[in-house]
Amino acid sequence: DAMVIQNPRYQVTQFGKPVTLSCSQTLNHNVMYWYQQKSSQAPKLLFHYYDKDFNNEADTPDNFQSRRPNTSFCFLDIRSPGLGDAAMYLCATSRATGGTETQYFGPGTRLLVL
Amino acid sequence: DQQVKQNSPSLSVQEGRISILNCDYTNSMFDYFLWYKKYPAEGPTFLISISSIKDKNEDGRFTVFLNKSAKHLSLHIVPSQPGDSAVYFCAASSNYGGSQGNLIFGKGTKLSVKP
């Protein structure tokens, strides 16, 4: 089945220790998104790739970076995680055709910062 | 400033009855609306969507209604089943401007369907 895969499902890191979360997709979608969702909050878009073009949201901290080495994979790098970065991180994909397209989500990675 | 609001954090409904989940938005540029369902420890799953050129879209037990003048949409589930128990997120996007295609989510409504 075509899907969005996120690894790991749970990640524990130490305060200030860089961490990388990964996302892969078999949908062959050209757009990939990263969201942060904290408890009882709405998912918040951090950035997205439209093909190879990176689009950062204005309020995304510089601490968060992303890489997309090819169509299938996208990584979220948190350079120096703080306690406030503990959250669920959701990857999503869509096939943009000029209009608004439905986004399909992975299961998420829950990040704990100790 | 929340552009998409789900004012009911939770809703409890008896099995077989109708569930109505509500969503309000403030940005008149939104032209596409979606509902996602989320089970614990899983990512949101797309449920149903509606374009602003329509006022109703139906898919099986799920119907979404859009009232553009009131900037309000609702999701109806009939009949409700225990397996529908989940958190439901309303999301909206605009085909215009620099944020084309980006989804703005509400905080979600937790639906509990009791047998």
Q: Flag if A99 and B93 touch (Cβ within 8 Å).
A: no
A87 alpha-carbon distance from chain centroid: 12
Mean pLDDT for all residues in chain A: 92
Q: Looking at mean pLDDT, say which of A36-45, A53-62, A92-101, B6-15 comes out highest.
A: B6-15
A·B CB contacts under 8 A: 57
Q: What are the CA-CA distances from residue B57 to residues A77, B49, B105 (Å)?
A: 39, 7, 19
Q: Does B69 touch chain A (CB under 8 A)?
A: no
Q: Is the pLDDT of residue B98 over 70?
A: no
Residues of A in contact with B4 (CB under 8 A): 42
Minimal Cβ distance to B43: which of A96, A102, A106: A106
Q: Flag if A101 and B34 touch (Cβ within 8 Å).
A: no
Write phi, then psi, for B68 (nearest 5 degrees). -65, -35
Residues of B in contact with A105 (CB under 8 A): 36, 43-46
Those of residues 25-64 in B touching chain A at CB distance below 8 A are 31-32, 34, 36, 41-46, 49
3-state secondary structure of B106: coil
Check if the beta carbon of residue B80 is closer than 8 Å to that of residue B17. yes
Q: Is the pLDDT of residue A100 over 70?
A: no
Give the whole-number percent of chain B exceeding pLDDT 70: 94
A65 alpha-carbon distance from chain centroid: 10
